[in-house]
């Protein structure tokens, strides 16, 4: 992960967001931006500081957010931990750049 002001990039590690994002893809992220329903967002769990995860924002239940990976068979997400706090959403994915294949 690197940050340049309010924009930054992250590199996808793992299969939880396949086929949307693949291992090694670079993502441009707007830091500090809350997503809208169905946006891909970057989360930092309160119980895992410094660990950033990319997930799909599924719903907002009165300030609690439900997030899931697109690859449900290989995603650790709200189906396991329940809803997350708004403060755990730290950015919104605004562009994908596929890795060279």
26 near 96, Cβ under 8 Å? yes
Query: What's the rounded mean pLDDT across residues 42-63?
Result: 94
Q: Name the residue among 93, 60, 65 with its Cα closest to residue 78.
A: 65
43 near 51, Cβ under 8 Å? no
Percent over 90 (pLDDT), the chain: 82
pLDDT at 97 over 90: no
pLDDT tens-digit series, residues 54-88: 999 999 988 899 999 999 999 999 999 999 999 99
57 near 65, Cβ under 8 Å? yes
Q: Which tokens hold the place of 40?
A: 């891909």
Assigned CATH class of 2-97: mainly beta
Considering all CA atoms of the chain, what is the largest pairwise distance in Å, rounded to the nearest integer? Answer: 42
């Amino acid at each position: 992960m690197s940050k340049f002001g309010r924009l930054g990039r992250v590199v996808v590690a793992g299969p939880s967001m396949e086929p949307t994002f693949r291992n090694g893809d670079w993502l441009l992220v707007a830091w500090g931006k809350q997503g809208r329903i169905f946006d891909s967002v970057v989360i930092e769990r309160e119980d895992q500081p410094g660990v950033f995860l990319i997930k799909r924002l599924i719903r907002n239940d009165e300030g609690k957010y439900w997030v899931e990976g697109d690859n449900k068979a290989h995603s650790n997400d709200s189906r396991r931990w329940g809803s997350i706090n708004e403060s755990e959403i730290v950015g919104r994915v605004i562009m994908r750049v596929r890795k060279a294949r």
